[in-house]
Amino acid sequence: MRMQEKSIKFGKNLVTTEEFFTAGHSFCIGCGEALALRLACKALGSNVIIANATGCIEICTSPLPITSWRIPWIHTLFENTAATISGIEAGLKILMKKGTIPERNIKCVAVAGDGGTSDIGIQALSGAFERNHDFLYLCFDNEAYMNTGIQRSSATPYGASTTTAPAGKLSIGQITRKKNMAEIAVAHDIPYVATACPSFPFDLMNKVKKGAEVEGPAYIHIFSPCPTGWRHASDLAIEIGRLAVETGIFPLYEVESGRYRLNIARPKLKPVEEYLKLQGRYRHLMNREIEKIQAMINEDYAKLTKKVAAFAA
Amino acid sequence: MTQKRLKIGTDFTWRDMEVGNIITEAGSAALRRTGDWRSQRPITDKEKCNKCNLCWLYCPDAAIKPLEDGYYETDLFYCKGCGICAKVCPKGAITMIEEEEQ
Amino acid sequence: MSKRIGLEASFATAEAARMADVDVIAAYPITPQTHIPERLAEMVADGELNAAYVPVESEHSAMSACLGAAAVGARTFTATAGQGLELMHEVVYAASSMRYPVVMTVCNRALSAPLSVWGDHSDAMAVRDTAWIQVFCQNSQEAFDLTLWAFRVGEDPKVLFPVMVHLDGFHLSHVTEPVILPEQEEVDRFLPRFHYPFALDPNRPMTHGGFGPPDIYSEAKIAQELAFRQSKEVVLQAWKEFGDIFGRCYCPVESYRIEGAKTLLMTMGSFTETAKIVIDERRGKGEAIGLISLRLWRPFPFEEFRQTVKDAEILIIFDRCISPGMGGPVFSEVRSALYDEEPRPKVVSLIGGLGGRDMSDEDFDYVVSRGKEIAEKGSEKMLETVGVRGEVIRIRG
């Protein structure tokens, strides 16, 4: 005898049992992004309209003639998610103002990958921030163009091997450092910016809820482990996400109107090697390169803690 | 009564396409049996399970269903056999076993 | 009481959008379209137009924002020109294949390089295949009328295709001419409120923009093409309704003094009016000559076109664009449209008016003379041009 409760209690957190995109989707086995999306949708509820970029989420959820989506959803092109959601937001606002449609609470949410955000989509995103549209932008970062076959993006971390920046006799793989999209969002002076990870599901859901409730632009950068592209076992997405936070590779923090808060502060970070060794994309790294990465992470984390202290919430 | 079956491309003539190829039936992918993908499946030891709900929370495929008695059941129609549930279970109540030949 | 005032075609366009009570305008400024978004922004700022003006950061985002707005059921308008139209090229395809009835004015501008802010048809010709309903305006009155008409057609539930209204950059967009503005009540009678049947709405969740694997893409495209062809019915119906309410009748192929004409000159856009001067002069001297102006460009009005030219012996096509390696694009399409007709006129091509190069009545006189000469004796030139300095190479292409 089966009974679906309306929501399930985890301590103080109530998580709805409703699924806003159905199973039967074609995300890879053990996909961290699928889980992150599932949790984000639970935090958003059904009074949303989602504009989605081309990418893993779009492909896995909307192959004609079927759809996984149980909420209103639109995909147009790759780089224009923020522009599309700007039109949706402006359209809804004016139609309600003119009385053409009844006044309701409908949240405009943009969903895109790292490529669709920090590379090809950055112009549209910057414009949407500047125009102060009331929308929540969720960047699901699996650190490469995964859907098209693991090509590098500006979110690919230093030393990672991708198909267009592969590790080889003459190369370490990615030779540039990961573009800091969260800080770029902060530089636009928007009311809410946060980083999140599905390994910390309640933190993620609370942030998505917070971002949705903010009036004006909100940006959440969501770490999304990818077994296929990062070459790790299909059951490790949660562990890898946890290590990313615990090693300082992906710190969890929020910035509300320019005021920083570190959500998970660790006096001592775990060594990055624990994180790197689980993933095939870093398999080629020599000790000195791992040390270099460790130094970079220490530097970045120190910078962040300084900001947290200087602009404390 | 017609059996609901997963819609596929070859079911459609050009006349059947909705304007703008818009899909008006929400969640129609629910009929796709992604359980065919797996090479291993989870087995839960109810003795060890403490109903913490974490397996349900962490499943990327929402393939773990809550039961009336508070325990959980894996929906083998969808379960892709990733093993995340086994990994996150704090009581080690879930083990992954090789999928059998049907 | 309708009034007659002098209005620049850009301002006439903005006025039409205002009277149509457009909901969302998402536009990026580019010469020679700028007067349109400027006037609309002014109207919004002064409370004359209750619309959301979204000052996007590029033309690609302009059309993308228009898609989003149309998807929630807003009446949507934008304008662009030349490079802007090129920048939004992929989005223009998405607008039509996703069936969003956006209305866009294009102030036809030459494409770089070299950079040119001046007018020709190269931007319009680059979007022939985008499945937008497209019309060319001759004057400011048409700029006003066809913008209103565009909303009526595009938003019709039997159509749901976006519409492009082409105005010659500078030669029309910046020209002040007398325009009859109707009463708001008449406009409201002609143009019903927009009701988009697939609006994104949490109460009725739908998926827009699913991807098309090979086993379904063909069916999707055929369905789109058949719907696009069928939209011509509503195109004509809406023109009839327009005529009934406003008293001005439009048709896909306008003919001017073609009765008994052995030679026909064909133009598109505002240069038509200059060409008409030459027709009058030559008719005055007893020449059996007439002019046709192609107003409806897409869907191509095969029937009306073939009917109009059936008695002509010579058809001279004046193109304001080169299709490199091929010749005049309109010429190519027209010749193809007439290929199976029996009898059919001899079709010849002349190209001019590129990048803002003006065409005087003398130039059109040359077009007619040279056109008749080519029809009779053929041409040794790779390209027949008007007003281009320097001898064009005498090799047949």
Residue C32: asked if its preceding bond is cis (omega within 30°), the reply is yes
Q: How far apart are CA C148 and CA C80, in angstroms?
A: 17
pLDDT for position C393? 72
**Site from A9, A25, A50 to mutate, B interface, most B CB atoms within 10 angstroms:** A25
Across the interface, whether the CB atoms of B17 and C219 are under 8 A apart is answered yes
Predicted interface score ipTM higher than 0.95? yes
pLDDT for position A265? 86
Domains defined along chain A, listed by start: 21-310 (3.40.50.970)
Q: How far apart are CA A23 and CA A41, in angstroms?
A: 13
pLDDT confidence band for A4 (50 / 70 / 90): low
pTM score: 0.97
Other C-beta atoms lying within 10 Å of the C-beta of residue C186: 16
Which among C65, C94, C207 has CB closest to A86? C65
> Which residue is it, tokens 């137009």?
C49
Stretch (H or E) spanning C364? helix C361-377
Structure tokens at C289: 């000559």
Residue C299: asked if its preceding bond is cis (omega within 30°), the reply is yes
Q: How far apart are CA C63 and CA C260, in angstroms?
A: 46
* B26-45 residues touching C, CB cutoff 8 A: 26
pLDDT for position A5? 65
Across the interface, whether the CB atoms of A66 and B75 are under 8 A apart is answered no
- Chosen domain end from C196, C225, C246: C246
pLDDT, average across residues A253-277: 95
Structure tokens at C120: 């020709």
pLDDT, average across residues C200-204: 98
- Mark whether C234 and C280 lie in a shared domain: no
> Which residue is it, tokens 């190269």?
C122
- Mark whether C47 and C9 lie in a shared domain: yes
Determine the straight-line distance between the first and last CA of chain C, rounded to whole angstroms: 57
> Which of C74, C75, C22 lies closest to C51, judged by CA?
C22
For C242, the domain range is 3-246
Alpha-helical runs (H) found in C155-258: 184-190, 214-246
Which among B13, B16, B23 has CB closest to C206? B23
Q: Is residue C64 part of a domain?
A: yes
Q: Which residues of C touch B30 (CB under 8 A)?
A: none
Model pLDDT for residues C124-165, shown as the tens digit of each residue: 999 999 999 999 999 999 999 999 999 999 999 999 999 999
Across the interface, whether the CB atoms of B8 and C160 are under 8 A apart is answered no
Q: Which residues of C touch B16 (CB under 8 A)?
A: 219
> Which of C48, C267, C238, C245 lies closest to C157, judged by CA?
C238
Helix (H, G, I), strand (E, B), or coil: what is residue C150? helix
pLDDT confidence band for A2 (50 / 70 / 90): very low
pLDDT at B3 over 50: yes
Eight-state DSSP code of residue A221: E
Beta strands in C169-319 (DSSP E): 176-181, 207-208, 253-256, 263-267, 289-294, 296-298, 314-319
* A179-208 residues touching B, CB cutoff 8 A: 198, 201
Model pLDDT for residues B66-79, shown as the tens digit of each residue: 898 989 999 999 99
Residue B11 contacts C, CB cutoff 8 Å: no
| CATH number of the domain to which C177 belongs | 3.40.50.970
- Mark whether C269 and C233 lie in a shared domain: no
pLDDT confidence band for B2 (50 / 70 / 90): low
* Subunits adjacent to chain B (3 or more Cβ pairs under 8 Å): A, C
**Site from A80, A85, A111 to mutate, C interface, most C CB atoms within 10 angstroms:** A80
Distances (CA, A) of C161 to A84, C96, C133, C221, C308: 18, 6, 7, 14, 27
pLDDT, average across residues C301-325: 97
Q: Is residue C305 part of a domain?
A: yes
- Total of domains in chain C: 2
Q: How far apart are CA A236 and CA B58, in angstroms?
A: 12
Q: Which residues of A touch C213 (CB under 8 A)?
A: 63-64
Residue B57 contacts A, CB cutoff 8 Å: yes
Name C391's Cβ contacts closer than 8 Å, sequence gap at least 6.
Answer: none
- Mark whether C185 and C287 lie in a shared domain: no
Q: Chain-wide mean pLDDT for chain A?
A: 96
Q: Which residue has the higher pLDDT, C294 or B1?
A: C294
Contact C179, C4 (CB under 8 A): yes
Q: How many CA atoms lie within 13 A of C202 on its CB side?
A: 17
Distances (CA, A) of B26 to A28, A58, A105, C208, C216: 22, 15, 21, 11, 19
> Which of B70, B71, B98 lies closest to B83, judged by CA?
B98
Q: How far apart are CA C24 and CA C67, in angstroms?
A: 10
Q: Is residue C391 part of a domain?
A: no
- Mark whether C108 and C237 lie in a shared domain: yes
pLDDT at C303 over 50: yes
Residue A77 contacts C, CB cutoff 8 Å: yes
pLDDT at A3 over 60: no
Q: How far apart are CA A19 and CA A38, in angstroms?
A: 7
> Which of A59, A55, A78 lies closest to A68, judged by CA?
A59
- Mark whether C219 and C301 lie in a shared domain: no
Q: Which residues of A touch B96 (CB under 8 A)?
A: 235
Angstroms from C217 CA to nearest CA on chain B: 9
Model pLDDT for residues C351-397, shown as the tens digit of each residue: 999 999 999 999 999 999 999 999 999 998 889 999 899 877 766 55
Q: Is residue C392 part of a domain?
A: no
Q: Is residue C393 part of a domain?
A: no
pLDDT > 70: what percent of chain A? 98
* Subunits adjacent to chain A (3 or more Cβ pairs under 8 Å): B, C
Helix (H, G, I), strand (E, B), or coil: what is residue A79? coil
Angstroms from B65 CA to nearest CA on chain A: 8
Structure tokens at C304: 């009306």
Q: Is residue C28 part of a domain?
A: yes
CATH of domain B33-98: 3.30.70.20
* C145-174 residues touching B, CB cutoff 8 A: 160
pLDDT at B100 over 50: yes
pLDDT > 70: what percent of chain C? 99
Name C359's Cβ contacts closer than 8 Å, sequence gap at least 6.
Answer: C271, C274, C352, C353, C386, C387
pLDDT for position B1? 46
Residue A11 contacts B, CB cutoff 8 Å: no
Q: How far apart are CA C105 and CA C14, in angstroms?
A: 10
pLDDT at C180 over 80: yes
Distances (CA, A) of A295 to A66, A161, A278, A281, A301: 48, 19, 19, 19, 10
- Mark whether C238 and C302 lie in a shared domain: no
Across the interface, whether the CB atoms of C215 and B15 are under 8 A apart is answered no
pLDDT, average across residues C331-354: 97
Across the interface, whether the CB atoms of A67 and B27 are under 8 A apart is answered yes
Helix (H, G, I), strand (E, B), or coil: what is residue A286? coil
- Chosen domain end from C246, C275, C301: C246
Residue A70 contacts B, CB cutoff 8 Å: yes
- Mark whether C23 and C52 lie in a shared domain: yes
- Chosen domain end from C217, C246, C275: C246
Burial class (CB in 10 A: 0-12, 13-18, 19+), B15: exposed
pLDDT, average across residues A88-98: 98
